[in-house]
Structure 1
Amino acid sequence: MQSYIVVLALTCLFSSIYAASVKTQECGRVDEAQLKNGELITQPNEHPWIAKIEDDEGRLLCSAVLIDARHALTGAHCAHSPSVEIKNLILGDWNLGDETVNTNAEATQKVPIKKITVHPGYKLGEAQNDLAIIELKHEVVSTDFVQPICLPSAEDLKGDKASGDLALAGFARIGRHDPLGTRRIKVPFESLSSQECHEQFKQFPTELICGFAARSPLSGSALVEAVGNPKKFHLIGIAVVGFYSSEKRDLQGYISIPLQLDWIQKNISE
C-alpha cells in the first residue's frame, strides 16, 4: 500500500510538471530579455515556431515555420524533390538532436505530415511563389518549446522594401568546421529594395523581399518582426534563395508572406 502511494505521488508530480510546460495556444510570444540580448544562438525556448525537415537518414534539408497547431510553411523546393519524401516535421529541436542537451529530449515533437500543398504558381527552379503549406496529421502540443508564430496583416509590407526591425530566425547553412551550424540562430536583417537586388542580379524576382544578414539561412527559415503592444512576432518572409552580389555581399531572397496571405489563409481554413 505504501509503495502504491509513492508511485501515485510521483505520477501526480510528473503530471503537474508536464501540465505546467503545456501552454494555451497563442502566437508570436516575445520575451523582451531574449529580444535584446544580442546573442546569435537562440535559447532553447526562443523562436519556438522553427521546425526542421529531415530526410530518412536524419540529415537536415530545410527549415519550416509553424503558423498554427496543424500547419507550417516552407519553401516549395524543399517539398518538391522527387528523390526525398518528407514524412515528419520536427519541432522543439534546438540543437539538431543533441540529446546531451537535456531540454531537447523533453522539448522535441516529431509530427507526421498529412499533406503538402505547393503554391500553384511555383515552377521548379524559379524563386517566384516558392512556397508550400505543410498540414500535419495531428495538432502539435503547445509548450515553451513549440508554439506558432503570428501571421502578418496585408499592411505589414508596403512598397518593395521590408521595413521595421527585422531578424532572420532558423537554421544556417552549415559550412565545414562550423561550430554554430547545428544550432538555431537569430540574426539582424538589413533590407534592400527588391529593385536594387534585381539590378545587381537580373534573375532576382522583384516580388521577393531582399536583404542580407551575417549568416546565410537554410531554405524555409523565417524573416520575423516583433511588433505591437505587447509585442508579438509576425512572420514576414520565408527564405528561398541567395546570391553573391556585385558588391561582394551574400544577398538573400524571401517569399513575402503579406503578399501570399490570401492563398495561405484559404488553404489552412479548408
Structure 2
Amino acid sequence: MRRHVFSLMKSVFFITWVFLILVGANDNNCGLVESSNPIHQNPWHVVLEYHYERRIANRICGGSLIGKRHIITSAHCVEDVGFSIILVALLGEYNMASDRDCERGVCADPVVRMVIASIVIHPEYHNRMKNDLAIIILEADAPYTDFIRPICLPTGNLSRHTTFYASGFGYTPRYKTYSDIKKDITLPYYPNCGRNYNGVTPDLICAGGIEGFDTCWGDSGGPLVRYGKRAELWGVTKGGNNDPCGLQGQPGVYTSVDYHLSWIKKVIGETKGLNTTRKDLIKDEDMLNNSATNNGSTSLFVCFVFIINQWMNIFLKCRYRNNNGYVLVM
C-alpha cells in the first residue's frame, strides 16, 4: 500500500514539474482579451506616470503587465528616476481625455494606479544601446479584470510573415499629434533591419517600415505583440527613426523579449517573494486630489523640476548592485 502511494506521489510530482516547465513564467490568465471591442484591447498595457509633488510631470513611457507583480519596460524609461520623482504604474487606461472610458456601449472600470516597490534594470544595459530592459516590481497584486490582464511571454519562433501589434499613447505620425486613446498599431515583422540602422544588435528586432504606421515619441517601453491562441510579448518599444516617425522603409526598433527570456524568468523567480510593505492600490481620485492640472504654467514648472532632477541624478544616484549584479533603482 505504501509503495503504491509513494508511486502515485512521484507521478503527481512529475506531472506537476513538467507542467511548470511547459508553462514557464507565464501567468495562467495571460494573453487573453475579453472581446473585440476596442476598449478591451491590450489590457496588459501600462502607462508610467512621473509625479512631482502631486503633479503629473509626464507620461512619456509605457510597459507591459506580465504577472500580478511584474511589469516589463525599457531601461531608459526608468534609469533616471531620482529622489524627487515618484513613478506610478497606471493600469486599465483607455482614454486619457476622459474620466470614464466608454466605447460601443461598454464602459471600463476606474483606472488603477499601483505603487512600485523596486525596479530591476538589466545588468548589461549601457547608454540606451544593448539590453534596454527593466522589470518593475509592484508592492501589491495587480487586480485582474476585463480591462487589466497580463500578457504571455513568447514561445516558438518568428516567421518572416509575422504581423505584430503595438500599443501606446505616444505621437501618431499620420495625425501629427499625441493620442489620448490607446493606439493599436499593426506592424509587419521587418527582418534583417541591420541595413537600415547601424549598430543593430542581436537583442533587437524591427517591425513596421510602412508610411504613417509606427510607434513614436511617448511609446517607449510599450508592448510589441504577436497573436496566436494567446497574445505573446515579443518586443519592448525602443526607438528607430524618430525624426520623423513612420517613414516608408524605416522600421521601428524593439528590444527582443525572446532573446532576454532567461534573464526575465530569473528576475521574476527571484522577486516573486520580494518582502515589500504592501500598500493598497491607488485609485484615480486618491492620487490626484487637489493636484494641479497639467496646464501651461504647471507644465513649465514641472518640466523645469524634471530637468533639474535629471541633472542632480548625475551626482545623486539612488542605486546599488545586489549579489546577482542587478541594478535596483529604489
Structure 1 spans left out of the alignment, 5+ residues: 1-23, 35-42
Number of residues of Structure 1 aligned to a counterpart in Structure 2:
227
Distance in 2 separating the partners of 1:25 and 1:140: 14
Q: Secondary structure at the match of 1:68?
A: coil
| Higher mean C-alpha displacement, 235-244 vs 248-257 | 248-257
Are the equivalent residues in 2 in contact too, given 1:107–1:146 (CA < 8 A)? Answer: no
Q: Secondary structure at the match of 1:140?
A: coil
Distance in 1 separating the partners of 2:215 and 2:167: 11
The higher radius of gyration belongs to 2
Q: Kindly tell me: are residues 101 and 178 of structure 1, through their superposed partners in 2, closer, same or farther at Cα, counting changes over 3 Å? A: farther
Whether 1:210 aligns to 2:213 is no
Q: Which amino acid aligns with 2:71?
A: A
From 112, 115, 118, the equivalent of 2:121 is 118
Q: 1:58-207 residue pairs with structure 2 within 5 A? A: 58=56, 59-82=58-81, 85-96=85-96, 98-101=98-101, 103=107, 106-126=109-129, 128-153=130-155, 155-157=156-158, 163-173=161-171, 178=176, 181-193=179-191, 195=192, 197-207=193-203
Q: Secondary structure at the match of 1:55?
A: strand
Q: Secondary structure at the match of 2:266?
A: helix
Q: CA deviation at 1:175?
A: 6.9
Q: Which amino acid aligns with 1:101?
A: D
Offset from partner CA, 1:72-96 (integer Å, 9 cap, x none): 1000000102557352100001112
Q: Kindly tell me: are residues 243 and 203 of structure 1, through their superposed partners in 2, closer, same or farther at Cα, counting changes over 3 Å? A: farther
Are the equivalent residues in 2 in contact too, given 1:49–1:147 (CA < 8 A)? Answer: yes
Q: Which amino acid aligns with 2:254?
A: Y
Q: Which amino acid aligns with 1:90?
A: L
Q: Which amino acid aligns with 2:170?
A: A
From 25, 30, 46, the equivalent of 1:27 is 30
Aligned to 2:262: 262
Distance in 1 separating the partners of 2:80 and 2:266: 25
Are the equivalent residues in 2 in contact too, given 1:152–1:236 (CA < 8 A)? Answer: yes
Are the equivalent residues in 1 in contact too, given 2:34–2:146 (CA < 8 A)? Answer: no
Q: CA deviation at 1:199?
A: 1.6
Whether 1:238 aligns to 2:241 is no
Q: Which amino acid aligns with 1:242?
A: G
Offset from partner CA, 1:28-70 (integer Å, 9 cap, x none): 1145745xxxxxxxx2221100010111132211011000010
Q: Kindly tell me: are residues 162 and 148 of structure 1, through their superposed partners in 2, closer, same or farther at Cα, counting changes over 3 Å? A: farther
| Higher mean C-alpha displacement, 109-118 vs 208-217 | 208-217
Q: Kindly tell me: are residues 162 and 265 of structure 1, through their superposed partners in 2, closer, same or farther at Cα, counting changes over 3 Å? A: farther
Q: Kindly tell me: are residues 259 and 162 of structure 1, through their superposed partners in 2, closer, same or farther at Cα, counting changes over 3 Å? A: farther
Normalised to the residue count of structure 2, the TM-score between the two structures is: 0.62
Q: Secondary structure at the match of 1:44?
A: helix
Distance in 2 separating the partners of 1:165 and 1:226: 8
Whether 1:54 aligns to 2:49 is yes
Q: Which amino acid aligns with 1:224?
A: V
Over aligned residue pairs, what C-alpha RMSD do you find? 2.7
Q: Kindly tell me: are residues 112 and 33 of structure 1, through their superposed partners in 2, closer, same or farther at Cα, counting changes over 3 Å? A: closer
Q: Which amino acid aligns with 2:46?
A: A
Are the equivalent residues in 1 in contact too, given 2:33–2:146 (CA < 8 A)? Answer: no
Structure 2 spans left out of the alignment, 5+ residues: 1-26, 271-330
Q: Which amino acid aligns with 1:119?
A: H
Distance in 2 separating the partners of 1:162 and 1:89: 34
Are the equivalent residues in 1 in contact too, given 2:173–2:214 (CA < 8 A)? Answer: no
How high is the sequence identity, in percent, across the aligned residues?
28
Normalised to the residue count of structure 1, the TM-score between the two structures is: 0.75
Are the equivalent residues in 1 in contact too, given 2:168–2:183 (CA < 8 A)? Answer: yes
Aligned to 2:321: none
Moved over 6 A (4+): none
Distance in 2 separating the partners of 1:51 and 1:162: 28
